[in-house]
Amino acid sequence: MRVAIIGGGPVGLVSGAVLAGVGHEVRVVDIDPVRTGKIALGEAPFHEPGLPELLRSVVDAGRLTATGVAAEAVVDAAVILICVGTPPTGSGADLTALRAASAEVARALRGASGYRVVAVKSTVPPGTTSEVVEPILREHSGLGADSLGVGMNPEFLREGVAVDDMRAPDRIVLGISDDRARAALESLYAPFGSPMVFTTPTGAEMAKYASNALLSTLVSFSNEIAAMCESVADADADAVLRAVHADRRFKGHAGRPDAPASITSYLLPGLGYGGSCFPKDTEALTAWARARGVASPILDAVRQVNAERPERVLSLLRARLQLAGARVAVLGLAFKPETDDLRESRSIDVARLLHAAGAEVRACDPVAADEGARMLAGVATVTADAESALDGADAAVLATAWPSLVALDPVRVRALMRRPLVLDARRALDSVTWGAQVEYLPIGRHA
């Protein structure tokens, strides 16, 4: 099947590469010429495990190509997936790129013969596909339902494991309003054999927001419990939440009935959620509800708890250290391990707050150091290696649980630091080993 992907970000490019890997002919369209240039050479433009190898193989096989011109990709495509960004505005989702991409696709299809489906993969407020995208597509293409189907097909992949997620989707949600569009999208995804959920476009949009809102709620719930544990001398939130995980209703993972389900990774004390999805999607959903006069007290509280997490790190440090004039290492800048994505990263917020409190901030990240240095210009010095950040530091904050940071040797860390005060904001370090070597301060436990 010929497939056009509009937008070559984590969602579009990983989807495109995996769809090409199962035999479809894919053209990726992006307005960024640097990005299309790299993709055309088979090079991944961002860090995502497994993507470089997959991309090279599908580009070499001629099954994935890249272009800056939508018309080249869409005219003979049976399915067109719109995967452009929908960034936060502060009070909802910015649909500028989605509108522009829809209009470009539609203009390219004017006068086209045959039948094709355009599906929105971007995460958008409920109603957007029917009320915004479809009218633009129909107006600029002049095509009716007999030659142009419109659908909504939200994406659930997780950055860092995006290739594996896309290769074996846990669900494929198809929001479609007619049988012909349904048949085209069903055959696109037939090679995966994953469960399919059929709903309306608005139902599909709501399903994506509901999913991210629930996961965000688990994170903030865990951090509310963590704050309570911190207020008493003898309750550790990590142990408390691991006891919750032992509930048989949270078990069953990858064919192992006794292993904790992966959802338990959202039920741990930490620095809160970041990244390009949870913060913006909870913001957009609450704004959408407010505009309809629907109260969202749970999600309002979820967002407030999350917003306060970086400040919590500072107050834990302040109890031990005069921040003005102190040198503080921030270990890890990406919003989570195995990605170079810094969007809405809590680590960046921690670095900024430390700087504002008068600390000298030295940050590190194994893959996002260059972009981190740009974002933190004038705030922190940023390196790829942890040792430079730790050298002579009065405190260190483990802000992103990169395996290379979790594997640091506490004896070496103690030798490097001026004062070996280590705040584990991700509860990723072994408390016994680290506690024996450094002043170990885990989030979620009384300090």
Q: Which residues are catalytic?
A: 277
* Shortest distance in whole angstroms from residue 73 CB to ligand NAD: 10
146: Cβ contacts below 8 Å, ≥ 6 apart? 115
Q: Write the binding mask 252 to 281 for ligand NAD: x where contact by CB under 6 A, - elsewhere.
A: ------------------------xx----
Rounded Cα distance, 28 and 5, in Å: 5
* DSSP H stretches of helix in 110-257: 128, 134-141, 162-167, 179-189, 201-230, 237-245
**Neighbour tally for 168: CB within 10 Å:** 11
**Cα angle value 423/427/432 (rounded, 5°):** 80
Residue 120 touching ligand NAD (CB under 6 A): no
Please name the residue that has the structure tokens 């800048």: 333
The reply to whether 86 sits near ligand NAD by the rule CB under 6 A is yes
Which residues inside 155-214 make contact with ligand NAD, applying CB under 6 A?
A: 155, 157, 159
Please select the residue that binds ligand NAD; options are 10, 169, 279, 442, rule is CB under 6 A: 10
Is residue 88 at the binding interface for ligand NAD, with CB under 6 A as the rule? no
The residues near 94 (Cβ < 8 Å, ≥ 6 apart) are 86, 87, 88
Please provide residue 210's backbone torsions phi and psi, each rounded to the nearest 5 degrees.
Answer: -60, -40
- Which residue is at the shortest CB distance from ligand NAD? 9
Q: Which is nearer to ligand NAD, 11 or 389 (CB)?
A: 11
Asked if 55 interacts with ligand NAD (CB under 6 A), we say no
Decide: is 9 part of the binding site for ligand NAD (CB under 6 A).
yes
State yes or no: residue 349 binds ligand NAD (CB under 6 A).
no
Among 7-15, 229-237, 262-270, 357-365, the segment contacting ligand NAD (CB under 6 A): 7-15
Residue number, 35 or 426, with CB nearest to ligand NAD: 35
Asked whether the beta carbons of 123 and 278 are under 8 A apart, the reply is no
- Site size for ligand NAD, by CB under 6 A? 27
CB atoms within 10 A of CB 248: 8
Token pair in block for residue 102: 């829809």
Selected range binding ligand NAD among 77-85, 246-254, 373-381, 415-423, rule: CB under 6 A:
77-85
Residue 400 token pair: 């992103």
Q: Quick one: 141 or 360, whose CB is closer to ligand NAD?
A: 141
Q: DSSP string of 18-43?
A: HHHHTT-EEEEE-S-HHHHHHHHTT-
Of 52, 46, 43, nearest in space to 10 by CA: 46
Residue type, 155: E
Beta bridge partners of 364: 331, 383
Which residue among 44, 78, 81, 83 contacts ligand NAD (CB under 6 A)?
83
CB-based contact 82:75 (threshold 8 Å)? no
Tell the smallest beta-carbon distance from residue 51 to ligand NAD (Å). Answer: 12
Nearer to ligand NAD, 123 or 220 (CB): 123
Which range in 93-101, 143-151, 362-370, 420-428 contacts ligand NAD by CB under 6 A?
93-101
**Out of 1, 2, 22, 32, the residue judged to bind ligand NAD by CB under 6 A:** 32
- DSSP β-bridge partners for residue 395: 328
Is residue 344 at the binding interface for ligand NAD, with CB under 6 A as the rule?
no
Contact present, 108 and 148 (Cβ < 8 Å): no
DSSP secondary structure code for residue 84 in this structure: -
Residue that has been written with the tokens 């440090």 in this structure: 317
Measured from the CB of residue 8, what is the shortest distance to ligand NAD in angstroms?
A: 5
* Piece of 25-33, 111-119, 284-292, 301-309 that binds ligand NAD (CB under 6 A): 25-33
Applying CB under 6 A, which part among 5-13, 145-153, 194-202, 367-375 lies near ligand NAD? 5-13
**Could you say whether residue 104 binds ligand NAD (CB under 6 A)?**
yes
Q: Smallest distance, Å, CB 305 to ligand NAD?
A: 22
Q: How far is the CB of 169 from ligand NAD (least distance, A)?
A: 12
H helices within 246-390, ranges in order?
278-291, 297-307, 309-318, 346-356, 369-375, 386-390
CB closer to ligand NAD out of 86 and 223: 86
Give every CB contact of residue 401 below 8 A, 6+ residues apart in sequence. Answer: 332, 336, 337, 426, 428
Does residue number 102 form part of the binding site for ligand NAD (CB under 6 A)? no
40 binding ligand NAD? (CB under 6 A): no
CB nearer ligand NAD, residue 273 or residue 434: 273
From 7, 151, 274, 337, residue interacting with ligand NAD (rule: CB under 6 A): 7
| Helix/strand/coil for 378 | coil
CA 404, 406, 407, 413 dihedral sign is positive
- Point out which residues bind ligand NAD (CB under 6 A): 6-12, 29-32, 35, 83-86, 97, 100-101, 104, 122-123, 155, 157, 159, 276-277
